[in-house]
Amino acid sequence: MSIGALIEQHGSPFYSMEFFPPKDRADWPAFLETVDRLRALNPLFASVTYGAGGSTQDNTLEITRRIAASGLPTMTHLTCVGANGASLREFLDKMREGGVHDVLALRGDLPRGKTQADWLNAEFRHAADLVRFVRREAPDMGVAVAGYPGPHPESPSLSSDRQFTLQKVQAGAEFVVTQLFFDVREYFDLVKYLRMHDVQVPVVPGILPVQSLESIRRVLSLCGANIPGKLYLELEAAHEKGGAEAVREVGLQFAVRQIRRLLDGGAPGIHLYTLNRAELCLRLAQEVKLS
């Protein structure tokens, strides 16, 4: 059963989570211990990412295999960058051999040294291209896509970004996992847009609890998400009064309120961007008291 089908059948709020496999294999035992600790949240599924340009793709596949073999449904990220038909077929075959049957289809980020002009010569330019390829070449695979509640940093407008999300689903995606965001209205606006266009697939909101001012600045610069001015001022004030620990507490309490509003508004579950850290996720779940 695909992860999309699991979501459809589950019928009650759930947690899922994203992991980033360490590059150094010496760090894998500690990483897998973190994954095991987070099983206390009874996650419905997990996703495993890799670096820009597929720089850790082999690690991603091996880690995904190990997590899936432990009984937790797991999907691997799959990006357009550097991909061609032959390499994708080989990767999908390796996935099957390892018992992995779901992908999160993404355009991906260009590696350093590449320019937007490189996309023009690429065999796969958009996530929708990947979705169509997987549907055609591996119809047994489950396929999810990403969605931006706010505009993608490269989109000319929010309207065009919504259209890209719609096209990815229409290409055959079973569900959407959103990029991180801080204004729940953006999530509900995205869902409303898709429903108005007769798209009924689940849209799972992605949540990243703020852990430090430095980390949130870095993340925002990469993904282009918007942060409410009030929240940012609260984080700065917390940092001045209590340092990093105070910032984490403000970030955690904001995420708790965010999750409650999302679930009360009908979100099917919550996808936690874990940053491979168990303690904060466990504390967050304890505060939310998911029923």
Residues labelled as active-site residues: 18
Distance CA 133, CA 60 (A): 20
User: CA 269, 286, 190: angle at the middle one, nearest 5?
Assistant: 25
Q: Could you tell me how far CA 67 lies from the centroid of its own chain? A: 17
Look at the block and give the residue holding tokens 């980020």.
Answer: 109
Strands 15-19 and 74-79: unpaired
Residue in 123, 89, 16, 103 with CA at minimum distance from that of residue 60: 103
Residue in 21, 51, 34, 20 with CA at minimum distance from that of residue 277: 34
First to last CA, the chain: 24
Q: How many helices (H) and strands (E) does the chain have?
A: 11, 8
Handedness of CA 87, 48, 272, 41 (dihedral sign): positive
Task: Specify whether the CB–CB gap between 235 and 213 falls below 8 A.
Answer: yes
Task: Specify whether the CB–CB gap between 166 and 197 falls below 8 A.
Answer: yes
Look at the block and give the residue holding tokens 């403000």.
Answer: 250
Task: Specify whether the CB–CB gap between 105 and 134 falls below 8 A.
Answer: yes
What are the CA-CA distances from residue 99 to residues 61, 102, 175, 193, 238 (Å)? Answer: 11, 10, 20, 35, 46
